Amino acid sequence: MTTDEAITTQPTTDTALLSSSSSLHDFLTGLASGVADALGGVSCAVATRRGPRVAATFGGSDRVAAALEDIQYITQDGPTLRAVQTGEPVCVEYLPVDLRWPELTLRGTADGVAAVLATPIPGELASIGAVTVYAQRPDRLDDATRARVAELAARHAGALQVAVRMFEYAAHAEHLRVALTSRYVIDQALGVLMSRHSCNARTAFEILRRRSQRDNVRLRKIAAEIIVTTTGEPPLPPAAGA
């Protein structure tokens, strides 16, 4: 495949990956595997920032990349996080003697990693993530490879922005759905308590709240138990369009 063909087919590849991914982690893992395949003979990770400073979600092409990314998130420092935060490439030319990140050096050396390159993924105002390459030979990360990684990082930037927005929207929608369902169940329980105690909604809610505090159980669970005990059936789901 020529370079022009690769560039032409890349949006289709990213779109297919996006449509087949069930989470942002899955999408990042797919991107990392694609970059690793494009470079050949390396491990790769793709991370994205989820806040103003810290990259919080990543995917690795293999066990080695995933483990080394995990260490950086535990210690809250490392080449990937530095690249995301500063917007500048971070290179570890020979990992066994690098003293900046001892935990990363120890684990990476044990896994046979000799060199690391973290390249920021450009966004509109700041970097939106990073592509990090873990190589077993120091000379593997030569100038040509660094240029190639920068090209791949830029090429995937648009798809990554879409993925982050899409999965954040999906998470927000799920949060709203759960909140709506909880509110609906609680409202049903309040109706039961109002009938049982001949009280208004405020008093019924106070009864529910006190029982929740006494038993150290969430309001929704207490509400569901009241409905099941009273009707013998689980709470009704919210009506469509409610």
| Per-residue pLDDT reduced to its tens digit, 70-126 | 999 999 999 999 999 899 999 999 999 999 999 999 999 999 999 999 999 998 888
C-beta separation of 133 from 117 below 8 A:
yes
Cα distance between residue 155 and residue 173, in whole Å: 29
Cα distance between residue 213 and residue 219, in whole Å: 9
Cα distance between residue 215 and residue 229, in whole Å: 17
Beta strands in the chain (DSSP E): 43-49, 55-60, 90-92, 115-121, 129-135
Return the SS3 of 88.
coil
Selecting from 3.30.9.10, 1.10.10.10, 1.10.3720.10, 3.30.910.20, what CATH number does the domain 173-231 have? Answer: 1.10.10.10
> Which ranges in the chain are annotated with CATH 3.30.450.40?
3-155
Return the SS3 of 153.
helix
Contacting residues for 110 by C-beta, under 8 A, at least 6 apart: none
- Higher-scoring residue by pLDDT: 180, 207: 207
Residue 213 has pLDDT above 80, yes or no: yes
Q: Which fold has domain 3-155?
A: Beta-Lactamase (3.30.450)
Return the SS3 of 114.
coil
For position 139, what pLDDT does the model report? 92
For position 130, what pLDDT does the model report? 94
Cα distance between residue 134 and residue 226, in whole Å: 56
For position 160, what pLDDT does the model report? 82
Q: How far is CA 128 from CA 51, 169, 190, 230, 236, in A?
A: 10, 17, 46, 52, 43
Sign, Cα dihedral of 133, 137, 142, 148: negative
What's phi and psi for 129, nearest 5 deg?
170, -160
- Higher-scoring residue by pLDDT: 149, 54: 149
pTM, two decimal places:
0.67
- 25-73 tens-digit pLDDT: 888 999 999 999 999 999 999 998 766 555 578 899 999 999 999 999 9
Q: Once rounded to an integer, what is the mean pLDDT over residues 126-147?
A: 93
For position 25, what pLDDT does the model report? 86
> Which ranges in the chain are annotated with CATH 1.10.10.10?
173-231
Residue 173 has pLDDT above 80, yes or no: no
Place of tokens 């309040």: 190
Sign, Cα dihedral of 106, 110, 111, 115: positive
Helices marked H in 90-142: 102-110
- Higher-scoring residue by pLDDT: 81, 4: 81
Return the SS3 of 126.
coil
